[in-house]
Amino acid sequence: MAPSASPVRTPVPVVLAGARGHGRWHLGNIRRLAAKGLVEPVGICELNPLTGEELDGLGDVEQSADFAALLERTGARAAVICTPIHTHADLALTAAEQGVHVLLEKPPAPSYAEFRRMTEGLRAAGVACQVGFQSLGSHAVTAIRDLVADGAIGRVRGIGAAGAWSRDLAYWARAPWAGRRRLDGRDVVDGVLTNPLAHAVATALRIDGGDRAEDVAGIELELYRANDIEADDTSCVRIRTAHGGGTGEITAAVTLCAERPGEPYVVVHGTEGRITLWYKQDRVRLERRGREPETTEHARTDLLANLVAHLADGEELLVPPERTGAFMRLVEAVRTAPEPRPLPAGAWRTEPGAGGGSERRIVTGVDDLVAAGAEELALYSELTGPGGPRAPWAAPAGEPAGASAGKGAGA
């Protein structure tokens, strides 16, 4: 998006839409930036008003379930939208109609058509939009791109991404849209690749440099589920990108049914070494032939602070919608793929959740499969060992569990 026509003064009046669930993180972040004089919280949009305890010192902010009316009454100049996926586009356009700039949670939309409708509306209104892929504010991403450009690991052979997380049954029951591909006739696409571990793919795409829609040359998907949901909870994808005269390959393997949940990571494979990024920790490890590994930790620019700097000083946005176009090609491929393949009962087991809470389903051996996918740049169905397929439940060659999509998919 183009810079705001006229600078916005700080503190920027901000409304938060969706202050519970993940919205609690945004509420805390707004509180932190308010203490620095960057923003002024003026409104909370929730179906049920927050209590005084939940507001925790934010002052007498106005609350309403009517987003448009709240923006108008408070004179907000920016809005943070952290609501169900299928509401993102409409709420972003509601803000745009009033000239209100937007920080929009990921994924930005549940389909490529909705994404296009939203971005065109934002552009026509002349408002700025930042998409909430927080990992793309990490200075580690730039550091890795610089290492690659300097030839630190030789020629890049491909990028792997791995995410082994766990979500209990209560996670899927927390909201009507959770774990759904569609709801009341509307696309939702709340799968592991498109929502909980979306950062793994988005970060890999940014490191690759092929994060715009036109950069995607092809997508191969395998979508599976152990839980009794519509969407996928254990999946993998290969994305081929073509940009700057080169061709890149990204393979991501992810699950929400891990045996031992761990930190997700992205690994850049080179002919002379490798670079691993644990993106939630902003930690980078450089491994090169004949040298000791080097580990560095990096700072991170907050995306709301970056949006404020963009509005006040013209600073470049870190995650404008167009830099998430390739990720939205993935969302569209997942949306249009066949229904995720249910894993056979023998492939998973049930155990108590963390702290003895709600039960969770665990896919046996999936942690090793996720790591192997990122290491070997292979889909689950391509992983083999001395005894045969390492994921016997994965679709055999020629019988894909998901879909293949070319460059034009979803256009």
One domain for residues 99 and 159: no
One domain for residues 216 and 331: yes
Structure confidence at residue 406 (pLDDT): 52
Structure confidence at residue 56 (pLDDT): 84
Answer yes or no: is 411 within a domain.
no
One domain for residues 342 and 368: yes
One domain for residues 41 and 91: yes
For 113, phi then psi, to 5°, come to -65, -45
Which range marks the domain in which residue 53 is found?
12-127
Name beta bridge partners: 166.
257
d(CA 247, CA 252): 17
One domain for residues 191 and 145: yes
One domain for residues 90 and 219: no
Answer yes or no: is 312 within a domain.
no
One domain for residues 160 and 76: no
Q: How would you write the pLDDT of the chain (411 residues) with one tens digit per residue?
A: 444 457 889 999 999 999 999 999 999 999 999 999 999 999 999 999 999 889 987 878 999 999 999 999 999 999 999 999 999 999 999 999 999 999 999 999 999 999 999 999 999 999 999 999 999 999 999 999 999 999 999 999 999 999 999 999 999 999 999 999 999 999 999 999 999 999 999 999 999 999 999 999 999 999 999 999 999 999 999 999 998 666 799 999 999 999 999 999 999 999 999 999 999 999 999 999 989 999 999 999 999 999 999 999 999 999 999 999 999 999 999 999 999 999 999 999 999 987 667 899 999 999 999 999 999 999 999 999 998 899 999 975 446 555 555 544 443
One domain for residues 284 and 361: yes
Structure confidence at residue 353 (pLDDT): 81
Domain's final residue, options 127, 147, 178: 127
Pairing of strands 341-342, 348-352: unpaired
Residue 356 gets the label, from left (phi > 0), alpha (psi -120 to 50) or beta, of left
Domain's final residue, options 127, 155, 183: 127
Assigned token pair, 70:
């709240």
One domain for residues 246 and 187: yes
Assigned token pair, 239:
């994305």
Do 81 and 104 meet the contact criterion of CB atoms below 8 Å apart? yes
What type of residue is 133?
A: F
Question: Which of helix, strand or coil describes residue 307?
Answer: helix
Answer yes or no: is 363 within a domain.
yes
Answer yes or no: is 306 within a domain.
no
Task: List the CATH number of the domain containing 218.
Answer: 3.30.360.10
- DSSP 8-state symbol, 177: T
Task: List the CATH number of the domain containing 112.
Answer: 3.40.50.720
Answer yes or no: is 177 within a domain.
yes
Q: Say how many domains are in the chain.
A: 2
For the chain, how are helix, strand and coil distributed in percent, rounded to 5?
30, 30, 40
One domain for residues 115 and 142: no
Structure confidence at residue 58 (pLDDT): 84
Structure confidence at residue 88 (pLDDT): 98
In the block, tokens 């002024």 appear at: 40
pLDDT, tens digit, 9 for 90 and up, residues 272-328: 999 999 999 999 999 999 899 999 999 999 999 999 999 999 999 999 999 999 999
One domain for residues 94 and 239: no
Answer yes or no: is 2 within a domain.
no
Domain's final residue, options 88, 104, 127: 127
Assigned token pair, 133:
């892929």
